[in-house]
A and B are shown apart, each in its own frame.
Chain A
């Protein structure tokens, strides 16, 4: 009955209640939308980083990452690659040679990072072929390479241009190989596009004059991204002499961003709710003051303070929750639509892409936040009810009734 009274009391002053409900609706709708947008941005960045650059797990020799020495290749890489390919739960694997060298062309030279790959495996892992914006991804024919478009622009190179790649072998001899550009790539990360050169690893091997595959890096993608910690531990055990790192080891800032986002979003929501709480306090205070005779009567006939308090708290919570539910439903559907269509931010595309953020944002339709937000609404409305409720409890029934 107390809940029934509280609910009906809300509709006594329809306009006033609707105003506060509308502000809760707008506050939550906007708040949740921004959360979904931020979450979507972080998720998109994470996905992109994992699917195009980091992969789920990478293996190196312990010394390689620091100095990137040619000699720090993974021993027995071919067998490791084979066994990883046959391991259940692993979607794609690629082995890479990573050699720092020079790219020389008639228009000038530039320091580059030469990545030797198996084009098929690399494409399955990172979708490299999709990054080709001009030319062809490793067509038939010898000594074809892909270079970043930014690098090509810098050196005035085109599809079909001949270049020479030079680098040192393990005994510091200068080696050189002539290659022809078959494609230009754009990864969305301009910093990478200025230094990246992709070649077939077997052709690099030939330049090095060795039959040993110089694989410095093995990257793999799992079927299920929740299993990363499990596979990370498994592989660590299996290859104790290698460094096994998950995406979150490789990019602590991505992990931090991922984790801090939640904290940030709850703080953000808290600020919105704090503002709404003032509106609630005001509304309920007005309601209590204009009903003082009635509240006095209720106390006179035997409604105790606990129940009176409960009645006012219920009214406040219901008022806020009504708005919250509508706001969440609106947020849910608008986010659902936006997450399918995407929000095109191409006006600022250039700037965003260089940070590895796509120009079309897809807000995250994740509803995992909703229970937490609903809980926050309840907590904030209970807090907002305290002051008005205390005002009501301070009423003296005999005085309140005398005013009749």
Chain B
């Protein structure tokens, strides 16, 4: 059973003025445990697609099924709740709450989920250790490097025990060393914890690490490669 399934997704921005067809009938399925890159030129619709899958925006046509539930019919409030329970997010920047420490940022999402205190503490520490920041738990985002901030964001995304993690150009603001480090981390979590990752990227080095690469052009999937190994 696919974790994510989209059926003939269309997204048209500014329908009444100058319509922009950002997505033109995207149908895809993502299975549990995938490590998938969405690639394509700028403006090809990567962000738009991730937003549809993540329930941040609604398609003009077509449906998104998460665990076979159609989320396109959900209300705004239902979607927020759904995202909290089922989806982890890593954005390009501004992932973290600047007034909270690394630890508190990770804990925060579990607090929203009303998890008990002890569980929050154990999981937050476990994840911060997994992302190699056990020494930096009390640091605020401004005291961390860009790469470290993205690691905290990954820890935060996984803390909620989501069905999958969506990452829109998570390495765009990182140097090559931090990029490699973040990808190592994501790959490790994918293998050890069976976390499903879907990320968009422009970076060839990132694309090379993906096990499946979906290529978008003008809002359509033009290729879908799965690599072995």
Find out whether the CB atom of B51 lies under 8 angstroms from the CB atom of A398.
Answer: yes
- Indicate if B123 sits at the interface (CB-CB under 8 A): no
Asked whether A305 and B80 contact (CB < 8 A) given A300-B89, A398-B56, A401-B56, the answer is yes
| B102–chain A nearest beta-carbon distance, Å | 14
- Indicate if A340 sits at the interface (CB-CB under 8 A): no
**Secondary structure at chain A's binding surface: helix, strand, loop or mixed?**
helix
Find out whether the CB atom of B92 lies under 8 angstroms from the CB atom of A302.
Answer: no
- Indicate if A263 sits at the interface (CB-CB under 8 A): no
Q: Which residues of A contact B76 (CB under 8 A)?
A: 305
* Bound Cα distance A9, B99 (Å): 7
Interface size of B in residues (CB-CB distance below 8 Å)? 31
Find B98's partner among A1, A12, A305 (CB 8 Å cutoff). Answer: A12
Find B84's partner among A12, A301, A305, A398 (CB 8 Å cutoff). Answer: A301
Find out whether the CB atom of A307 lies under 8 angstroms from the CB atom of B100.
Answer: no
* Bound Cα distance A1, B111 (Å): 8
* Bound Cα distance A397, B77 (Å): 12
* Bound Cα distance A1, B83 (Å): 20
Q: Which residues of A contact B84 (CB under 8 A)?
A: 301-304
Q: Which residues of A contact B47 (CB under 8 A)?
A: 402
* Bound Cα distance A7, B217 (Å): 46
Interface size of A in residues (CB-CB distance below 8 Å)? 24
- Indicate if B85 sits at the interface (CB-CB under 8 A): yes
- Indicate if A353 sits at the interface (CB-CB under 8 A): no
Asked whether A304 and B56 contact (CB < 8 A) given A9-B99, A12-B98, the answer is no
- Indicate if B97 sits at the interface (CB-CB under 8 A): yes
Inter-chain residue pair count (beta carbon < 8 A): 68
Q: Which residues of A contact B109 (CB under 8 A)?
A: 301-302
- Indicate if A293 sits at the interface (CB-CB under 8 A): yes
Find out whether the CB atom of A297 lies under 8 angstroms from the CB atom of B91.
Answer: yes
- Indicate if B112 sits at the interface (CB-CB under 8 A): yes
| B146–chain A nearest beta-carbon distance, Å | 13
Find A301's partner among B51, B89, B98, B99 (CB 8 Å cutoff). Answer: B89
Per-residue CB proximity of B60-99 to A under 8 Å, as 1/0?
Answer: 0000000000000000110011011100010111110111
Asked whether A404 and B94 contact (CB < 8 A) given A302-B112, A398-B51, the answer is yes
Q: Which residues of B contact A297 (CB under 8 A)?
A: 91, 94-95
- Indicate if A294 sits at the interface (CB-CB under 8 A): yes
Between A8, A300, A396, the greatest number of chain B beta carbons within 10 A of the residue's beta carbon is seen for A300
* Besides the known contacts A12-B99, A301-B84, A304-B81, 15 further A-B residue pairs in the complex with CB atoms under 8 A apart: A1-B104, A5-B97, A5-B99, A12-B98, A297-B91, A302-B83, A302-B112, A303-B84, A305-B76, A305-B77, A305-B80, A396-B57, A397-B56, A398-B51, A401-B94
Give me 18 A-to-B residue pairs in the complex whose CB atoms sit less than 8 angstroms apart, sorted by A's number: A1-B104, A1-B108, A5-B99, A294-B97, A294-B98, A297-B91, A297-B94, A300-B89, A301-B89, A302-B80, A302-B81, A302-B83, A302-B109, A302-B160, A303-B84, A304-B112, A396-B57, A404-B92
Q: Which B residues have a C-beta under 8 Å from some C-beta of A?
A: 47, 51, 54, 56-57, 76-77, 80-81, 83-85, 89, 91-95, 97-100, 104, 107-109, 111-113, 156, 160
